[in-house]
Every structure is written in structure tokens, then in C-alpha cells.
Amino acid sequence: MRAQLDFYFDFSSPYGYLASERVEALAQKHDLDLQWHAIALGFIFPLTGQQPVVNVPLMRDYFLHDVQRCARDNALAYHHPDVFPVGTVAACRTFYWLKQHHPALLIPFTHAVYRAYFTQGEPIASADDVASVAVRAGLQPDGLTQASQDPAVKAATKNAIDDAVARGVFGSPYFLIGDEPFWGNDRIEQIDRYLSEPA
């Protein structure tokens, strides 16, 4: 049986965006069953007392520099959005609506939202923003604009985030291979080494 790689990310997380562009190659290299899990850190940070790093003195400047440096290191486009961070509940709910109703669109949708926000600075905070991004990317299933108002989707989103927390997820990107956790885009090389070791 193929091992599973669980990839947790927040749509407003720059390092999550970078990882989203790299995780498929990692999974392919090691023949892993890659599972994508959107989370909303707005629900998780209160549990840990964390706050967005741009609100933290001293760390803010480092972070803004480091994200762009890491994007260059990873040979990925990056433009820091003027409005940052943003709420990601609507994007998260749309993600879980797609997962249920149009699973084939899940990964294209994820890339579309991340790229719209982190390379074009397009808004992604509201349900309308998210639907617009999806439509411009050629993804327009019936019902998309109402997705985030669906009570079943709201419940599915909450359950997904609760499950993530129950597995110890506290940041983005976060990876689990079984019980082995890895936090951060800068750990992808470590995951690669971990998977390359004899079991």
C-alpha cells in the first residue's frame, strides 16, 4: 500500500503557497498518496496563542525578507500581497465543497487561489472573491458561489480543522506521514531525506 502524505495549508500562508508548488513533485518522487487539507489558521492560532507573524515586532521584517528569498530559492513566482493576511474561511469552505462535489477540481482550485493571491495580489477573502478567482481559472461548477453558505460545508470545514488540530497541526504548511510531523516549507528537503532512508 502506498504511504499517505497529508499536506495541511492555509490559503493566506506564503510558505503554504510555496509548499503547494513543491509537494506534488515530492509525492511523485516517493510514490505517496498525497492528500490536500485546507485549514484556517484563524481558528487554530487562538489555541496556541500565536498570531500572524506580520503582527510580531522584529519577526515581521525577517519574514517579509525570508519569504521572497525562499521563493527565489525555490524558483517560484512571488509577489507579497498588499492586503495581508486575509481571512481564509470562505476559501476553505469552497475547498471542502469542491472536495465533496467536484473532487477533480480540488487541486486546480487550490493552485488557482494561491497563485491569484501570491503572484497577482488578487483578493481571496470573500466567497465572491474566491468564486471569481475560480471562474477566471476556468473552474465554474454550478453552485460554486453558494458553496460557502451550505451548512453541510460549514460543518465539513469545521470537522476538517478539528481533525487537523487533533493530529497536532498548528501551522502552515504542515505535513504528516503517518504520525511523523513536519512543519514548514523549509522542511521539504528533510521530508525527502526521511523518505529516502531505509525503513
d(Cα 132, Cα 141) in Å, to the nearest integer?
12
| Closest CB 167 distance from its own copies, rounded Å | 10
| Closest CB 181 distance from its own copies, rounded Å | 6
Q: Decide whether 64 or 137 has the Cβ nearer to its own copies.
A: 64
Q: Decide whether 125 or 160 has the Cβ nearer to its own copies.
A: 160
Q: Decide whether 121 or 181 has the Cβ nearer to its own copies.
A: 181
Please say whether the beta carbons of 96 and 127 come within 8 A. no
| Closest CB 65 distance from its own copies, rounded Å | 7
Q: Decide whether 33 or 73 has the Cβ nearer to its own copies.
A: 73
Residue 2 is classified by DSSP as: P
How distant is the alpha carbon of residue 157 from its chain centre? Answer: 14
Q: Residue 55, CB half-sphere, CA atoms under 13 Å: how many?
A: 8
If phi over 0 gives left and psi between -120 and 50 gives alpha, with beta otherwise, what is residue 184? Answer: left
Residues that bind its own copies (CB under 8 A): 44, 47-51, 56-59, 61-62, 65-66, 73, 165, 168-170, 181, 183-184, 186-187, 189-190, 193
Helices 106-120 + 89-101 axis angle, to 10: 160
| Closest CB 56 distance from its own copies, rounded Å | 5
